[in-house]
Structure formats: structure tokens, C-alpha cells
Chain A
Amino acid sequence: MNVISFFEKNGMITSFLIIAIIMLIAEQISTRLLHKKIPGSAIAILLGLLLAYYGGMITGGEKGIADLPLFSGFKLVGGSMFRDFCIVSTALGVSFPVMIQAGKAGIISLALGLVVSFVVGICVGLAFGYQDAESLATIGAGTLTFIVGPVTGSALGASSDVIALSVATGVVKAIVVTVFTPLVATKIKLDNPHAAMVFGGLMGTTSGVAAGLAATDQKLVPYGALTATFYSGLGCLLCPSVFYLALKALM
């Protein structure tokens, strides 16, 4: 009997067990070693990222640790379907008055988040010697999220290595948001639903916002998700069209 293929066959259940063990280890590190200075959930997410790096190193695949047969269930449990389903389920804790009151700030942060990301990406692209509008727009789009980058790049006909750069930029953004949000949350007053909606709109990367807020305060998750969910879609709309044309006009 092949043990690995047994676990692969029962992939989803196996991943539940492995995640439970990861959570347990993270919780122990948090209470025993760090005296709860960093929450267990933040450490668990960090452990997850380390596993992802390790998995990528061994297999050379794109799905982190999920490319190992033993961890294949992570593709499903850690995929966008489960993630979005869980985010939606947190909505019952949402307060409508708070949401409506923060609506205006949320929309402003969304617009600003899209524009600022694109501009920052272009500035960095220029600093690294890229001159053509197509490459710059693709890198700018990748600075929005790792979904917007390749969508924009293929729409504008950018080269495949520039598209790879844009995806990598989006992934770095998601990871940096994940790791640093719980650490800077108090400094940037990210401790209320209003700020969480602004945060979701500014950052936009659903993976990063979801994980960063989860590690900070789970109650804030639905508010951040509410604005972030519009970000990638709007980015895919604006980057290859309005933003690209504006960039071309300026060059």
C-alpha cells in the first residue's frame, strides 16, 4: 500500500489535520515563547508562507506546499473558493450603519489605491530602466494585484518576462501585507471597521488583506473584504484602458 497516495486520495481531510497541527504549533509558539506578543494566527500564517517557499523550492511548482502529494488538499482548502466562502460567512457580524458610514471613505480609498499603486509601479519600472508604455503599464498593473498584472500585460501585448515580473510584484505585495499588517496595525490605527474598509480599498490584494486582517483582528475581516473585492475587477477594467492611455499621453 502506498501511504502517500492514500493521503493524496483523502487530500481535503489530510489538509484539515495538517492545518490543525500547524495552528497548534503556532499557538504554542505564541503563548510559550512570545508571551502572546504576536497572535497565534499571525504565526500560523507565517508558517504557511514558509511552507509555501519550501514547497516551491522542492517541486518548482506554482502552488507552494500544495504541489507535494501529501499536501495536495491545500489546493482546495487554500483555494479561492474556500477563502471567499469563509469571507462571506463572516458577513453576519457586519454592522450596516457602520458600513454605510464608511462607504464614502471606502470608495475614495479604492480609487486612490488603484491610482497610487499604478503610479508607484510605473516609477519603479522607470527606475529599473523600462521605457515603453506597455511594459510600464504591466508592471504598474502588477503593483495592483497579481491578477491585474497578467490581464493587463496580455491585453497590451507585453513580453512574457515583464508579465512574470508583474505577477511576482503582486505576490510580494500580498506577502508583505500579510506579514506586516498585524505588526503596524496599532500604529496606523487599524483597529475599527471604518479603518478596515479604507485599508481594504487601499491595498486591494484580497489574499493579503484577508490574511493580514485575520492575523490582526478577525472582526475586521468582512469590512476589509468588502472594499478589496472590487479592487482587482476595477483594476482589470482601468489598467489596460484609462490608465494605459493616460500613461501614453504623458510619455
Chain B
Amino acid sequence: MKKKQKRKSRKAEVRIPFPNVLAMVLVCVAASGLSYVWLCARCDTLGDEIRRLESVRRTVRQQSIAEQDRWSNMLAPANFERALRHHRLAMTLPDERQVVRVRRGSGEQGLKLAYNK
């Protein structure tokens, strides 16, 4: 019995020391691996965000063009006239006799007209 215990304890005493350098290397590799994985995940997240923003930009552009299109349609002379009729508004361009023309270069006279207003 004693012999057996002695052999066991001798066995336990024989320890192969784990090299510090290797440990550091392994830690570094593990850290690099984790960093790599984290960076990859971060890149993918950012990529997804960029793709989402690209999609948003496209949608906003499309909406902007659609609005321009609608606005342009509303401003079509025929539609404009229809809208005026709908609201019972009668608008005509002024007759030549109703137009007061202030010419450029009329100097004092032009200014006086402006002040009198």
C-alpha cells in the first residue's frame, strides 16, 4: 500500500511546466481571434446599416420625385384652371389698359411711385 502511495505522489510531483511564452501566444491568438470575430460582426452590422441607409436614400429620392411629379401635375395650366373653377374663382390676366408700367431708368419718378405705394 505504502509503495503504491509513494509512486502516486511521485507521479503527482512530476509536472510539465506550461511555457509562459506559449501561453501568451495562445492568449494573443485567442484575443486576435475574438477581435477578428468582433470586427467582422461590427463590419457586418455597419454594412447592414449602410444598406439600410442606401435603401432609405433611394426611397426618399423616389418620394421626392413622386412629389415633384404630383406638384407639376397640379400646376398644369388645365388642372389649375379646373381648380379655380372648382373654387369659383375667376382670374383673368390684366387688360392692357389696367397695366401701369414703371420703366427701368425712369429714376426719380420710379422711386416716387415706389414710396407712394
Chains A and B are bound partners: no
- Give A contacts to B, CB under 8 Å: none
- Give B contacts to A, CB under 8 Å: none
